[in-house]
A and B are shown apart, each in its own frame.
Chain A
């Protein structure tokens, strides 16, 4: 066979054009964003959805409602610092909080695998009840389906929620302006490393607990204090890097952060070193960024630090004029680098 014919045969089927869904399509990176853009947004397009906020803000009569949904599939179901029950409530409450809304009502849908332990289900449901009590939401409707053994991973939970947006609150990436401060609510990477350590049996010196936490009281305090918040986003899959890229890509600005200002716990950093992960891309479940006018930055940090979950809040950077990349970072040694959105999932490096 001659060379040119062999060359013609090469078809490295690109992951993004894969004929089937791969795990990377749910990884929170560029592939997932592609999937949403090219499949979901294309089919469902409407002015509310196209804003691509954590939740939808809908005008109803005189006021506005926020509406958000989140599905939860996690192994293990119980992990240091939380479980799938609390996660399913906080996930949606946090999405609503990022719209500046006061979360009120939740739906809960369960997909349970045949043979799942009733005792475990009770534990999960109690954890949901406790989380909803803590955040002041009521689970007002629900659904339960059971699938054949082997067709599910124990239990999947979807929640959807409705919250009320107070008058005068307008939070959206489009409001970001050059010069705005970027405030991070705490140290990053705990959830991803906590879950991965358990799932993959990685032994660390001490147990890293997930940062899973409701963000409603912190976000609510910022609003109650009258700060003119331009945008908020909770950092979940894809981590801080993906969150900032999602925000910056929807504006005419770039974001510049400083590595030395981003809090990362030593144990998380150590685990990342071993696995070849970048903490900027590791998942969180109780952290968010707030973007607001520069003169309000210190005040926001002060308010966040009143909360147990916000003790390490910092201004990590600023919004700037458009640049050669959406997100840039000054590294610890003083050089500048691009912070890109991850292509798929982070995979451990070989050496």
Chain B
């Protein structure tokens, strides 16, 4: 298939692994920020193709995983209300809150619907004026502009039966949290190509400079990742700390200005708790006061209390890149995709779920 198979080609993969082996003179640790990249790395065994001296560390970039448990509880409470249709993306529906998940609410008779875009939720609201439609908005900068567009559309259509629970999060503050950790071993970053397709990469330039790390904006196909790793290693070997763009076919330095503009019109920056990591200042988006009537958090007075993760779970360490899933005592026995204890096991893009699916030996 065009634009896919050429990025999954064995010969080109061999070429890049050869170049990397020739280039590397010492040990290096690189973090891929995005869960989609982690998924590709583990699925295609890219880490196993690299020399032993290169370590890939998996980052916190799975928006489903890091959605705070309190917000999921809130969504679950709202979904259980009379007359409400709760809509969200597919993989959000099975993420456990403290007592249930959204698919469980559906099984108990709640009207929970999977949508592909918040715009679909708008259509449901327009078609069901007697119902209240709530969209549970999760995702990084990648999905935030479409959520913002949905708010503008709801306003344009004068819909008063549509609201949203916003849990959008931003990547750069999370990278800073990882980098400012005392025991941070990360020497270079692969930034998330889709986030940068929207935002561009100017925000990453001060981070590269402040912390002295090279950052390479990277795509999601196996060859994108191999090329991104090669570019990052080249900078490390040459002692450079620039922001470079591997994902040229999608990303420009300034990003998608229309998308950024829509996002800024609708949202403002707020502090947000990340599941497994904790509160990160300036790392979330919330609706501006002007759009407060679309805020489901204000419309429905459902309370949720602070919840902690189980003690055995090392998800915080995994999300910060300090530990690998296989180092967790709960991994694969008490913690599985059917019984997730921590954030990275709950979504298919989480590091633990990726290891469970592609790496956990369970043969005869």
Contacts and interface: CB of A to CB of B under 8 A. Distances in A.
A347 B93 contact: yes
A348 interface: yes
Contacts of B97: 12
B13 to A, nearest CB: 4
A200 B107 contact: no
Interface stretch (A20-28, A37-45, A122-130): A20-28
A343 B337 contact: yes
Contacts of A200: 116
B103 A334 contact: no
A326 B89 contact: no
B96 A13 contact: yes
B310 A10 contact: yes
Contact of A335 (B48, B63, B140, B357): B48
Given A326-B363, A333-B44, A350-B64, A11 B116 contact: no
Interface string A269-281: 1100101100000
Nearest to B88: A350
B90 A348 contact: yes
Contacts, number: 168
Contact of A337 (B103, B143, B358): B358
Contact of A269 (B4, B89, B100, B222): B4
Given A202-B116, A326-B363, A337-B43, A349 B348 contact: yes
A7 B308 contact: yes
B103 A15 contact: yes
B364 A322 contact: yes
Contact of A6 (B92, B306, B339): B306
Contact of B338 (A11, A15, A266, A332): A15
A95 B323 CA distance: 47
A15 B46 contact: no
Given A335-B44, A351-B140, A15 B94 contact: yes
B90 A347 contact: yes
B13 A333 contact: yes
A7 B362 CA distance: 30
Contacts of A266: 1-2
A14 B335 CA distance: 10
Interface residues of A, number: 53
Given A6-B307, A325-B363, A349-B90, A269 B339 contact: no
A349 B89 CA distance: 7
Interface in B260-316: 305-311
A348 B363 contact: no
Contacts of A332: 5, 8-10, 44, 222
B359 to A, nearest CB: 7
B194 interface: yes
A174 interface: no
Given A12-B341, A269-B1, A350-B63, A20 B139 contact: no
A344 B8 CA distance: 27
A9 interface: yes
Contacts of B90: 347-350
A348 B8 contact: no
B245 interface: no
Given A14-B338, A22-B104, A331-B44, A322 B1 contact: no
B255 to A, nearest CB: 15
B240 to A, nearest CB: 28
Contact of B45 (A3, A326, A331): A331
A16 interface: yes
A18 B96 CA distance: 12
A67 B96 CA distance: 40
Given A334-B13, A335-B49, A349-B348, A24 B308 contact: no
A1 B307 CA distance: 10
A298 interface: no
A254 B46 contact: no
A323 interface: yes
B326 interface: no
Contacts of A17: 339
Interface string A310-349: 0000000000001111100001111111101001100111
A30 interface: yes
Interface string B108-148: 10000010100000000000000000000011101100000
Contacts of A254: 363-364
A337 B338 contact: no
B81 interface: no
Given A10-B309, A334-B14, 6 more contacts: A1-B305, A9-B307, A11-B98, A30-B338, A325-B362, A340-B356
Interface of A: 1, 3, 6-7, 9-18, 20-24, 30-31, 200, 202, 252, 254, 260, 266, 269-270, 273, 275-276, 322-326, 331-338, 340, 343-344, 347-351
The 4 closest A-B pairs by CB, nearest first: A335-B45, A347-B90, A324-B361, A12-B96
9 contacts: A3-B308, A10-B308, A20-B107, A332-B222, A333-B13, A334-B10, A343-B336, A347-B114, A351-B142
Interface of B: 1-2, 4-5, 8-10, 13-14, 36, 43-46, 48-49, 63-64, 89-94, 96-101, 103-104, 106-108, 114, 116, 138-140, 142-143, 194, 222-223, 305-311, 336-341, 348-349, 356-364
